[in-house]
Structure 1
Amino acid sequence: MIGSRRRSRSTTNVWPGYVDALSALLMLVIFMLLIYVVSQLFLSQTLSDRNSELARLNQRLNEISELLGLEQSKTEAMEQQMLTVQSNFSDSLAQNEGLQERLDASRNQLMQQAADAEARSERLANMNRELDDQDELSISQQNMIMRLSNQIASLQNQLRQITAALKLQKEMTADKDGELENVSRRLNTLLAERVNELERYQSEFFSRLRNILAANENIRIVGDRFLLPSELLFASGSARLGAEGKQELDKLAGVLLDVVKTIPQDLEWILRIDGHTDLIPINTPQFPSNWELSTARAVAVVRYLADQGVPQNRMVAAGFGEFFPVANGTTPEALQENRRIEIKLTDR
């Protein structure tokens, strides 16, 4: 009986100890589960905030890309930075997935071994540090957005200044266009007056010279030009003026000098002397081609008129060779008509 009491007392004393141990273990398990649930909720909220932040960041970057069209290089750099941020965020998501897997493993281990509670506490501390790192990444992203916003504001200010400058330039250009239009109108009026004045002297010169030279049937009038046959002025193949040609040029010089006295000094007029030949080529040491012959004849006429007192700065000589005929064909009459000196009073 004494032994029976001892066994009964021993059994009664051991059981409460087991109950206390199981209670402590159960409380530890419940505590760890609470920690897991809280961390799971915090991690879910963090992931949701990250997704919202990423969506807002993507939208803001699209606006920035439109506003920074003039700074393509900077935009590309910012896009590169955004890719880096997205890459870092992807790495963060991968880390979070790893954390999730480790939390699942921790839960299974808590169900199996309560003795590893201290090791699990160290893992939770690591996870907290990783979450802190994620918070630092979010702050870095916010700083980058702030810098981009400042750059956008600066560019908008520059665009406003450029727009104001362009508006001012347009107003100045409009004023200058108006002034130029007025000047152009005045110049056209003055030019028309000068042209009319010159035409009046041309008409007087033409009329008087026509009356004087009308007695010579070889001299023709075509439009506002007098055509003198080369035979009247020069021998065949020569650029030396003959006596008969000098007489006709004396008449021309007399009329011209008389008309010149009435022409204002500021009116730009010239007497144009053009030499022409027929199409029969010439090839002599003095005249290798019709170019030289026609030019030499025109110069001879200019020199003679200058000797008669016609101002040299009011005359011009040109040689056209055989390239501007007034008659077609190779008949003697056509060839004779094409060998000529043309005289015309015109403007400079």
Structure 2
Amino acid sequence: MARRRSRSDANIWPGFVDGLSTLLLVLMFVLSIFVVAQFYLGERLTSVKDELAFKDAELARLTARLDALAEQLGLARAEKEALQNQILALEATLAEKEAALAESRSTVAATAEELEAERALAEQQKSEIATLNAQLAALRRQLASLQEALEAAEAKDREQQAQIENLSQRLNAALARKVQELQEVRSRFFEALRAALAGRADVRVEGDRFVLQGDLLFAPCSATIGDAGRVELDKIAAIILDIQDDIPAEIPWVLRVDGHADATPLGPSCAARFASNLDLSAQRATAVVEYLKSRGVPAKRLAATGWGSQWPLVAGYSPAALAQNRRIEFKLDAR
């Protein structure tokens, strides 16, 4: 068995050596080819680098040339645009000149037509001027006639103005006489009232007014005339009826009856019947006027006015002051 194994080993070794030698030869051949190829590639790479360097230099030269051409092209375009602008400006100027020339020709033509029209118009105007001169002469004659009429009217106006001034003076004098007559009637009226109501402390004259205390005529918070008040008002009515015939008919006289209240606010029961002191004073004045009318005094000679507490005779809130401020005033006056 050992001998067979040795013999087999001896047979394997020479084949292994031959295969290894062949492999080494192949490797050496491949390495030789690789070295040759690397050398060739190195040479080729050097050549390619030289070509690339040359091409880069050429490209840089061409780029510089292209930039120079582009710059020249830009300058040429700028010059072209400037020339085009000049051409446009010249064309616009030419158009303006042509338009001005056309307008001048039109103006000349219009001027010629106007000149012909003015020549024709001049003849017509001459005829119209002659007509106007004739009309002007007629107007001057009319103006002279009107001036004469105006002077006559002014003279008449001055005469009428003098008459008006005379009438005004006469009217003022007549009014003064009527006022004096009314004043005399008022004095007679007050004197008669003083005589008829003499001795009463609640009746007095204040300036041009005859005053009756409201408490003499009315109960508190009432616009109904009491019995005592009717007696006094009968006297006043009789006096009015007695003197009215003595007053000239042309004097438009009226007896004004003014109602006045005190400043005390209305109580609840009084406020239910009257809206305010003004309402109370107005209703009292109206009641007096209605009573005098019932005694024969003409309605057109009577007027009623309510003043509330706006015009007190006495200041303050004492019972005496409040009593004096509750009053009925009579004033004989012209309408």
With the length of structure 2 as denominator, give the TM-score of the two structures.
Answer: 0.56
Are 1:268 and 2:255 counterparts?
no
The alignment status of 1:256 with 2:240, answered yes or no, reads yes
Q: Which residue of 2 is the match for residue 182 of structure 1?
A: 166
> Of 182, 190, 195, which aligns to 1:198?
182
1:136–1:273 Cα change, 3 Å: closer
User: Could you tell me how far apart the structure 2 residues matched to 1:140 and 1:255 are?
Assistant: 92
Q: 1:261 to 1:168 in 2, by over 3 A?
A: closer
Match of 1:298 in 2: 285
Instruction: Work out which of the residue numbers 208, 223, 226 in structure 2 matches 1:242.
Output: 226
Q: Cα–Cα, structure 1 residues 155 and 340, in superposed 2: closer, same or farther, change >3 Å?
A: same
Give the Cα separation in 2 of the matches to 1:134 and 1:179: 62
Aligned length: 224
* RMSD of Structure 2 on Structure 1 (CA): 3.4
Q: TM-score scaled to structure 1, two decimals?
A: 0.54
- Aligned sequence identity (%): 42
Instruction: Extract unaligned runs of 5+ from structure 1.
Output: 1-86, 96-129
* Matches of 2:121 and 2:247, distance apart in 1: 92
Cα distance, 1:159 vs structure 2: 3.4
Q: Where does residue 324 of structure 1 map in the other structure? A: 311
Mapped partners of 1:190, 1:287: distance in 2: 46
- Compute the displacement of 1:217 (Å): 1.0
1:169 matched residue in structure 2: 153
Matched, 1:211 2:198: no
Secondary structure class of the residue paired with 1:236: coil
- Give, in angstroms, the shift of residue 274 of structure 1: 0.9
Q: In the TM superposition, what is the alpha-carbon distance from 1:331 to its structure 2 partner?
A: 4.2
Quick one: distance in 1 between partners of 2:273 and 2:142?
Answer: 74
5 Å matches for 1:29-40?
none
The residue aligned with 2:274 is 287
Output the CA distance in 2 between the equivalents of 1:343 and 1:222: 10
Give the match's secondary structure for 1:256.
helix
Give the letter aligned to residue 319 of structure 1. Answer: G
The residue aligned with 1:11 is: none
Give the deviation of 1:223 after TM superposition.
0.8
Distance 1:181 1:257 in 2: 39
Distance 1:233 1:136, change over 3 A: closer
Alignment match, 1:63: none
Partner of 1:27: none
Distance 1:238 1:134 in 2: 99
Shift of 1:250: 2.5
The aligned runs of 1:138-157 (5 Å cut-off) are 139-140=123-124, 142-157=126-141
Unaligned segments of structure 2, at least 5 residues: 1-106
Greater C-alpha Rg: 2
The Cα shift of 1:343 comes to: 0.9
* CA distance in 2: counterparts of 1:188 and 1:210, whole angstroms: 32
Residue 136 (structure 1) shift: 6.7
**1:316 aligned counterpart, secondary structure:** strand
Alpha-carbon spacing, 1:259–1:143, altered in 2? closer, same or farther (3 Å): closer
What do residues 280-313 of structure 1 show as CA deviations (whole Å, max 9, x unaligned)? 4547354223333222111211222233333333
Q: After TM superposition, give the deviation of residue 342 of structure 1 in Å.
A: 0.2
